[in-house]
A = this chain, B = another copy of it.
Amino acid sequence: MRTHPTLEDVAARAGVSRALVSIVMRGVPGASAATREHVLRVAEQIGYRPDSRARLLAGRRSRLLGVTLSLNHPFHADLAEGIYSSAEQLGYEVVLSAITPRREPRRAIDTLLDYRCEAAILVGALVREPWLSALGERLPVVVVGQGTRSQAVDVVRTSDAAGVRLAVEHLVDLGHRDIAHVDGGRAPGAAARRNAYRAGLHRHALTPRIVAGGQSEEDGATAGRALVDDRPTAVLTYNDRCAVGLLDVFVRAGVAVPDDVSVVGYDDSQAPYRRLTTVSQDAAHLATLAVQRAVARLEGEPVPDRETVLTPRLIVRCTTASPGR
């Protein structure tokens, strides 16, 4: 189990100075093409890879972006993927820190700080406003997917109001008048969606009906069981996972979708196999914007607005139809 080769090993074997190797490895000007190639080959030969810790320590910039995310959320996975590739394009590294039931956001963020990342991109991190603001004072912070009252951080999100509105309009256009909402409880964005739902129904002089839900399929199933007996003609759920749980209960109870009841999800995170009508948030776009925002702050470029709000799209698939069809 021998130790990793160092810059010095490469230098020695290539017969040049460490500084030169450093220059070559970083790809900055200051070495002839011939030397460059030679050094690179030697490095390759002895399996040299720069020690990222040392590099981070020595450099004045770390070019490291810290990202929190909760595992097990398809939408977060999509965001992470986008963040990785946007960051790479801009020459930044990414370090992930997971939020799990036993590992709180605060803990995840602390880890990121210990790595001395230059900016933090927070996905799925529910932290209290004062703490978030304090964090925003220390380093550029971009919150993805949810709003915040804090003025110290950037926000990149999709408009919950617009998304819910699209969904409600779609259902109303189809002729639905009894539209229920399975909410997300304390989940990110849940409050905004709930409010938008209320507003949407009021706009059409309809009566809101909110059922407690959550983020998971199980929450959706629970809500489904609560709704199945006194069934509305349409249901808008907090997210796709929730919709899936609801659908499952409905279908098993012999309730046909979309014939007996229409269902609209949120996030477009489910594989298309379910053919769920849903409000789509463009994860790749959100990711790109979040990274751009963080980088802009780091590089002192002007950032137009603290908050960037994307407009979601409604994707009509096969779980919605006119009532009593």
Q: Which of B71, B81, B100, B221 contacts A100 (CB 8 A)?
A: B81
A34 within 8 A of B: no
- Asked if B272 and A218 make an inter-chain contact with CB atoms under 8 angstroms apart, the answer reads yes
Instruction: Please give the distance in Å from A287's CB to the nearest CB on chain B.
Output: 12
A101: chain B residues within 8 A (beta carbon): 81
A97 within 8 A of B: yes
A192 within 8 A of B: no
One digit per residue, 1 when the CB lies within 8 angstroms of any chain B CB and 0 when it does not, for chain A 37-68 equals 00000000000011111101100001000000
Q: Which of B52, B62, B81 contacts A114 (CB 8 A)?
A: B52
- Asked if A271 and B216 make an inter-chain contact with CB atoms under 8 angstroms apart, the answer reads yes
Q: Which of B50, B139, B252 contacts A1 (CB 8 A)?
A: B139
Using A49-B114, A96-B96 as known contacts, list a sample of 19 further A-B pairs with CB atoms less than 8 Å apart, ordered by residue number in A: A4-B113, A4-B116, A50-B114, A52-B53, A52-B114, A52-B115, A52-B116, A53-B57, A69-B71, A71-B81, A77-B100, A81-B98, A84-B100, A95-B95, A96-B97, A217-B273, A222-B273, A248-B273, A251-B252
Chain B residue with minimal CB distance to A51?
Answer: B116
Instruction: Please give the distance in Å from A39's CB to the nearest CB on chain B.
Output: 18
- Interface of A, secondary structure class, is helix
A54: chain B residues within 8 A (beta carbon): 53, 57
> How far is it, in angstroms, between the C-alpha of A155 and the C-alpha of B56 when the chains are bound?
33
Q: Which of B57, B84, B102, B116 contacts A57 (CB 8 A)?
A: B57
A260-280 contacts to B (CB < 8 Å): 270-274
A56: chain B residues within 8 A (beta carbon): 53
One digit per residue, 1 when the CB lies within 8 angstroms of any chain B CB and 0 when it does not, for chain A 239-257 equals 0000001001101100000
A-B contact pairs, 14 of them (CB 8 A): A4-B116, A49-B113, A49-B114, A52-B53, A53-B53, A53-B56, A53-B116, A57-B57, A77-B100, A81-B98, A81-B100, A96-B97, A96-B98, A245-B271
